[in-house]
Each structure stands twice: as C-alpha cells, then as structure tokens.
Amino acid sequence: MLSVVRIFFLGLSFLFFTPIALILCLLRPFNPDNLYFFAATWGPVAHRILGFRVVFTNRHIMKESRPCVFVMNHQTNYDLVLGGIIRIKRTVSLGKREILWFPIFGLFYWLSGNILIKREKRSKALKAMEKVNKIIRDKNISILIMPEGTRSKGRSLGKFKKGAFRTAIGAQVPIVPICASSWHQNINLNKWNAGTLHINVLDPISTQGMDTSSINSLTETCREKMEKEIERLNQLRKV
C-alpha cells in the first residue's frame, strides 16, 4: 500500500515540476542547464517521496573529467530519479525518439538539448552520433548514455551497444562509468525506510589515440569494470 501512495505522489511531483522546467526551456531553448535545473529541483523531492538512502562515492570524478561520455547501468523507470540525484552540470542524455511524444515531458526533454535518435535505423543513429561528437567538441558538453539500451529489470548487466564508445572515440574524450547497485535487491517501497542504494563513479577510461578498431575492446573493458563494481556494491551491507 505504501508503494502505491509513493508512486502516486511521485507522479504528482513530476507533473508539478515538469511544466515549470518547460517554461524555462521556452525562455532559453536547448540550454543544457535546463536539464540540471529540473534535476536539482525535482530530484531531491522525488528522492524524499520514495524514502530510500543514497551512498554516493567518488562524485568529484564527474567534475574533473570534462567533457566526457558518462555511461550508467539501466535498471528501471526509477533511473529518472537517480538522474535527479546524480545531477551533472552541462550534460545531456541520449534517448529514443519516441520520448518526444510524451505529453509536456517530451517537449521539455527535447528543448533541454538532449539527443533523440531512432535506433532501429542504423544510418540515422550514426548521423546522430556524429552530431553528438560535434556537440561534445564545440560546446564542451558531456553526454550521459545507458549503453544497455533497455532496462535490465533487476537482471544482471545487459549487453552493451557500441554507440557510447564510438562517440567517445570519435570525440577523443574519456568514458566515465557510473555504477548503481541493484534497485530490486536493495529497495522496498513498502517500507518506510525503503533501503539503501549505492552509487559509485569509476575512474575515467581514456580514449586518446584510439580509432574505430578499438570500439569492441573499449566496450568490453568498460562493461567488465562496471559488472564487477555493481556486484561489489550489491554485497555492501544495507544500512
């Protein structure tokens, strides 16, 4: 019952803050700070509503390795709340083009400068990645990508798509992995204290001097590091 109440108020908070953020987007369209504003205002509220604790380590790495390509494991729709907790300045995300059709939020997402791609069409996806490279280089903006491409729903880390790594090599910027412990194993929204989620930022993985021949090895190296770290985080005692 408590989980239903929490989800209800989470939805209300989302409906309240999104139009406010959209107004800001209309005043300064495609400014990446719009996304940070939404994360900084809605994120803490959403976090309190859901009632879980976050232990966040090595956050300083996100500020020191800029611009870069952030990669994060993708678990549930609640990852949107995690984005509000992480809050990375001058960073946009990569999302499916279908997001644009979500009422109010789709328009806000687009006007915040996020990149929308149609993934089933490889040629258009590659063109989108070229656009991302230009944004990273020319505007000093980082990008957050969830390379699994779909929610794991509590299962182990899924197979990585190569777009994030192709982008990092093309822009010659580092990959910075962000690892979150399992939502399903550690969070119970029916408890007043819903649990503890551990988030850790790993050391940057350099792409300097790499070319397209290194994409596969870079992808696998990153996935192995993240898989090992997520397993470690899941073993931490819940406090």
Q: Which residues pair with 56 in a beta bridge?
A: 199
Give the pLDDT score at 151: 64
Give the pLDDT score at 68: 92
Give the pLDDT score at 135: 81
The number of domains in the chain is: 1
**Across residues 224-231, what is the average pLDDT?**
94
pLDDT digits (tens, 9 = 90+) for 157-176: 888 988 889 999 989 999 99
pLDDT digits (tens, 9 = 90+) for 177-216: 999 998 888 889 999 999 999 999 999 999 998 988 899 9
Task: Domain of residue 144: give its range.
Answer: 2-235
Dihedral, CA atoms, 170, 207, 84, 197, nearest 10 degrees?
140
Contact 196, 7 (CB under 8 A): no
**Whether residue 37 has pLDDT greater than 70:** yes
Range name among 101-110, 125-134, 187-196, 230-239 with the lowest pLDDT average: 125-134
Degrees, nearest 5: CA angle 183-105-178: 35
CATH code: domain of residue 115: 3.40.1130
> Per residue, what are the HEC states of 153-194?
CCCCCCCCCCHHHHHHHHHCCCEEEEEECCHHHHECCCCCCC
pLDDT digits (tens, 9 = 90+) for 43-93: 999 999 999 999 999 999 998 878 999 999 988 888 889 888 998 888 988
Statement: the pTM of the whole predicted model exceeds 0.85: yes
What burial class does residue 65 get, using C-beta atoms within 10 Å of its C-beta: 0-12 exposed, 13-18 middle, 19+ buried?
buried
Q: Going along the chain, which residue ranges are E strands?
A: 52-57, 69-72, 91-96, 115-117, 142-145, 175-180, 195-201
Range name among 38-42, 62-66, 127-131, 201-205 with the lowest pLDDT average: 127-131
